């Protein structure tokens, strides 16, 4: 994975790397993670950077060290916003066009849900949470999708994020037991609209450089 591109401002190499062999992490993800740490945008909490296009999930501790990287499953519909009222719908009632994973910065943590017990909420208001694949429907072949070498088949959920059960139990659950910050890169919206402070900082660095 391309975390080898890091410099002193970016986190150390993950101890748990489940990304497919040869699959790189984008410069944008690496730069965003570096900015979060440098700007203390996570306020010392663990954080996660999710790249929907590459179907990647990167988990960082509150100390800024990379705890793990793995494939993720995201909403089947391309888009960066949640449809109004969607949080009040049962999964089967969500139209296909509205099965999006929102982009942006979210502060989340563990809490109760109506039908799934205690879950890791990424954004409670829009009912977006992060689950292990064991919670998915068998016919959707979620583990197979995660294991495939490309991200082409990783858009399958109703909007929540899924990771492999082992990665969830080994990395995600202990890291976010007391909550954290989640950064989800956009499908269509610009990075400037989604993370304006990050983009402003990056542009300022280029001018100063």
Kindly state whether residue 197 falls inside one of the protein's structural domains: yes
The CATH number given to whatever domain includes residue 41 is 2.40.440.10
182 three-state secondary structure: strand
- Give the span between the Cα atoms of 205 and 14, in whole angstroms: 26
Checking if the pLDDT of 136 tops 60, the result is no
How many structural domains comprise the chain? 1
Q: What is the pLDDT confidence band of residue 41, given thresholds at 50, 70 and 90?
A: very high
> What pLDDT was estimated at residue 97?
78
Residue 9: is its pLDDT beyond 50?
no
Q: Is residue 40 part of a domain?
A: yes
> In terms of residue numbers, what domain contains 34?
2-204
Residue 165 lies in a domain: yes
The answer to whether residue 132 is domain-embedded is yes
- pLDDT band at residue 6, thresholds of 50, 70 and 90? very low
Residue 200 inside a domain? The answer is: yes
**Which has the closest alpha carbon to 36: 61, 5, 73, 1?**
61
**Averaged pLDDT, 75-89:** 82
User: pTM for the whole thing?
Assistant: 0.88
For residue 175, is it within any domain?
Answer: yes
In a domain? residue 209: no
Flag whether 168 is in a domain: yes
């Amino acid at each position: 994975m391309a975390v080898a591109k890091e410099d002193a401002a970016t986190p150390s190499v993950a101890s748990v790397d489940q990304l497919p062999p040869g699959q790189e992490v984008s410069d944008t993800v690496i730069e965003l993670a570096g900015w979060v740490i440098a700007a203390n945008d996570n306020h010392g909490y663990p954080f996660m950077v999710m790249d929907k296009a590459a179907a990647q999930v990167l988990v960082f501790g509150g100390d800024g060290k990379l705890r793990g990287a793995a494939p993720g499953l995201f909403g089947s519909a391309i888009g960066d916003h949640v449809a109004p009222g969607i949080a009040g719908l049962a999964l089967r009632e969500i139209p296909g066009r509205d099965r999006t994973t929102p982009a942006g910065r979210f502060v989340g943590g563990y809490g109760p849900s109506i039908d799934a017990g205690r879950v890791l909420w990424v954004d409670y208001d829009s009912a977006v949470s992060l689950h292990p694949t064991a919670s998915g429907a068998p016919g959707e072949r979620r583990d197979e999708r995660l294991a495939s070498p490309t991200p082409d088949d990783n858009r399958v959920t109703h909007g929540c994020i899924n990771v492999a059960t082992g990665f969830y139990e080994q990395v995600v659950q202990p890291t976010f037991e007391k909550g954290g910050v989640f950064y989800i890169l956009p499908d269509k919206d610009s990075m400037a609209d989604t993370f304006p402070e990050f983009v402003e900082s990056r542009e300022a660095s280029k001018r100063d450089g």
